[in-house]
Amino acid sequence: MFSVDQFIADLRATLGERSRQPMKEIVKRAVSDPAAMIRTLGEPDKPGVKVLHASPELTVITLAWPAMQVTWPHNHNMSAIIGMYGGREDNVFWKRGGKDARFPIEPAGGEALGTGDVTLLGPDIVHSVTNPLGRISAAIHVYDGPFLTVERSMWDAETLHEQPYDAAVVARGLNRAPAETAAR
């Protein structure tokens, strides 16, 4: 049985650790039983973000990615643990200082996550995410800081130039119809 209160308490107990590995293990345990998470959190039937916990030292959200959704490259400026409890997401990791001076970042690897998979992103990671499926994908995100209020960046999809993170642009993307998102 997945309990949000117990999940948050377990995560909070790891905040004093230097490594975020214990936090990752807690998320891994949770997403190892996706049916229990869905029973507690509800079936993700529409795109969106739900805040489960927000404090200066810990933020926990669920994110339902629309079908065929692609995000702009962005950072978090804090460690992030992402656990999939439904569907899939494909991550592209970016590095600063690309070989081509026109583009300030360039791809530097990636990772595909399916239901039950977990990844730990360091505080300096820049990534973009794709839900390649024709249905909603669901993930739980854990950040070791005030994710909802920290200054962050995003990089324009075409020019790859850095700009301040704009939650309104991201929210509009989450609410696009699949055909519109795929065309973008």
pLDDT digits (tens, 9 = 90+) for 18-40: 999 999 999 999 999 999 999 99
Question: Residue 162: is its pLDDT beyond 50?
Answer: yes
93, 108 contact by CB (below 8 A): yes
CATH of domain 4-183: 2.60.120.10
pLDDT digits (tens, 9 = 90+) for 67-94: 999 999 999 999 999 999 999 999 999 9
Question: Residue 178: is its pLDDT beyond 60?
Answer: no
Predicted TM-score (pTM) of the model is 0.90
Provide the CB-side half-sphere exposure for 137 (13 A, CA).
Answer: 27
- At residue 174 the predicted structure's pLDDT band, cuts being 50, 70 and 90, is low
Question: Residue 46: is its pLDDT beyond 60?
Answer: yes
- At residue 175 the predicted structure's pLDDT band, cuts being 50, 70 and 90, is low
Please report, for the chain, the start and end positions of each structural domain, with discontinuous segments joined by +.
4-183
Low-confidence winner among 35-39, 47-51, 157-161, 168-172 (lowest mean pLDDT): 168-172
User: In whole numbers, what is the pLDDT of the chain averaged over residues?
Assistant: 91
Average pLDDT rounded to a whole number, residues 139-154:
97
Average pLDDT rounded to a whole number, residues 85-108:
90
Question: Residue 180: is its pLDDT beyond 60?
Answer: no
Helix ranges, the chain (H): 4-13, 21-31, 34-41, 167-174, 178-183
Give percent of the chain with pLDDT exceeding 90: 83
Characterize 75-97 residue by residue with b for buried, 16 or more Cβ atoms within 10 angstroms of its Cβ, and e for exposed: bbbbbbbbbbbbbbbbbbbbeee
Separation between Cα atoms, residue 131 and residue 114, nearest integer Å: 10
Question: Residue 45: is its pLDDT beyond 50?
Answer: yes
Question: Residue 181: is its pLDDT beyond 60?
Answer: no
Element (H, E) at 158: none
